[in-house]
Amino acid sequence: MTDSSQPQDLLLIERCRVVACFDDARRELDHTDILIEGPAIRAIGKNLRESEKLPPDVPTIDGRGHVALPGFINVHHHFWQTLTRVMPRVQNAKLFDWLVEQYHLWESLDVDGFRTGARVALSELLLTGCTTTSDHHYLFPTAAPVELIDIDIDVARELGIRFQPTRGSMTLGEDDGGLPPMTVIEKDERVLADYERLISKYHDTSPYAMTRISLAPCAPFNVTTHLFQETVNVARRHGVKIHTHLAETADEDVYCAERYNKRPFDFVADQGWEGPDVWFAHCVKINQEEIERFARSGVSVAHCPSANCRLGSGIAPVPAMLKAGVAVGFGVDGSASNDSGDLLGEARLAFLLHRAVGGENAISARDCLYMLTRGGAAVLGNDRIGRLEPGAAADVVLFDLDQVAFAGGPSTDPVAALIHCGTSHHVSWSIINGRIVVERGRIQGLAEQQLVRDANAVTERLVAHGMKKRGIDYLKHVEW
């Protein structure tokens, strides 16, 4: 292990109101203890203090009044986008217009800015129940160094979250018919070399690995066909997963039809992107035949309902995917399209949204919690996370139901209360790899107010860059 995290030896979580295991038996156990040893769960049951013959001074968390679940898994994000949230100029823009404006802001991001963006993104995820996250880092401004994934990994280790970053890229710029300006475009060869560097430096295949690498060219409208092909070759040589945006908007359908005379999925599938090592973000504009192809080949999906709603892109047909047997997890997506990184909030939105359009049986609270845990684990290809049982990773979150928002819920259905009643999405405790990362609602070692000040300062620098370079006031509201 190259990670710096030092799991505690033993940790007892005692008398949880309910432990929702999300194991194969889908057990939900009232008034139950969880015993953690090192990076793994050793036992789940009642009175473990006696039955496991624990020493009297074993470190203990009082679980009374709390729901314990496997830590949630976020399978799509762009950390740096936390720095350009709720930008007045693009509040009402659809994806392509929104992106083009944002590229011109992001091009001036430096190492300090990327570090701050990652800290904000990871803090918000930790507070809303996330214990494992991916990140789709595709922005490599020409003025910045190539080692930007390294910064994200640094911050993840500093905060103690399990991390599966994806090496993203944009290699098809506006000069060659792509969407982004050339200031954020890389050469295919540089990306391919960085794939090899990152895999050899960070990819950890041990059972409780805290860092694994995946590969992720950004989208069909900003990456060359060659890089899509070569990414598959590198990934399959090393046994790592691959990821990209797919079928997010109607504009993407038009772009792929005009440029490739294909639907987006046909275009990437023709480059080899079909199989259990592939996961796609969004899949809003996917049809039933494509869903069945996903199910047959093992392709999985990151569902990002907030970003799809925020940009007016549409609603991904997730109930049909689940019915067909496609693995689906949640992604908060970049916080400039979502404007939030509330992972439990994604699940509540999905619960409401799919019922609004599909009826009262379209999706249940437990379906959504399953997607946050087992679904996410399947998407990332990690069977040690997303479940609570002996031998699973010791990633546990505790939500305190002793709050006004949940009053009554503990007496009826405390597990479903997290989704049905849940307007309070903050964890009280989060344990990752056996180590307490959030304690009584506070992230260990984080100076939260200083982080907010740092982020605001970076945002002001980006806006000033936009004004200086393009003469555009990003803070000016469009007419309303």
Residues in the site for Zn ion, rule: CB under 5 A? 333
CB of 40 to Zn ion, least distance (A): 32
Q: What is the nearest approach in angstroms of Zn ion to the Cβ of residue 103?
A: 14
CB of 464 to Zn ion, least distance (A): 26
* Min dist. Cβ of residue 232 to Zn ion (A): 20
Nearer to Zn ion, 3 or 333 (CB): 333
- Residue 172 or residue 365: which is nearer to Zn ion going by CB? 172
Q: Which is nearer to Zn ion, 333 or 395 (CB)?
A: 333
Toward Zn ion, which CB reaches closer, 333 or 454?
333
Q: Which is nearer to Zn ion, 286 or 443 (CB)?
A: 286
Task: Give the shortest CB-339-to-Zn ion separation in angstroms.
Answer: 13
The smaller minimum CB distance to Zn ion, of residues 33 and 333, is found at 333
As measured in angstroms, the least distance from the Cβ of 336 to Zn ion is 10
CB nearer to Zn ion: give 327 or 336: 336
HEC profile of the chain: CCCCCCCCCEEEEEEEEEEECCCCCCCEEEEEEEEEECCEEEEEECCHHHHCCCCCCCCEEECCCEEEEECEEECCCCHHHHHHCCCHHHCCCCHHHHHHHHHHHHCCCCHHHHHHHHHHHHHHHHHCCEEEEEEEECCCCCCCCCCHHHHHHHHHHHHCCEEEEEEEECCCCHHHCCCCCHHHCCCHHHHHHHHHHHHHHHCCCCCCCCECCEEEECCCCCCCHHHHHHHHHHHHHHCCCEEEEECCCHHHHHHHHHHHCCCHHHHHHHCCCCCCCEEEEECCCCCHHHHHHHHHHCCEEEECHHHHHHCCCCCCCHHHHHHHCCCEEECCCCCCCCCCCCHHHHHHHHHHHHHHHHCCCCCCHHHHHHHHHHHHHHHHCCCCCCCCCCCCECCEEEEECCCHHHCCHHHHCHHHHHHHCCCCCCCCEEEECCEEEEECCEECCCCHHHHHHHHHHHHHHHHHHHHHHHCCCCCCCCCC
Least separation, in Å, of the C-beta of 243 and Zn ion? 10
Residue nearest to Zn ion (CB): 333
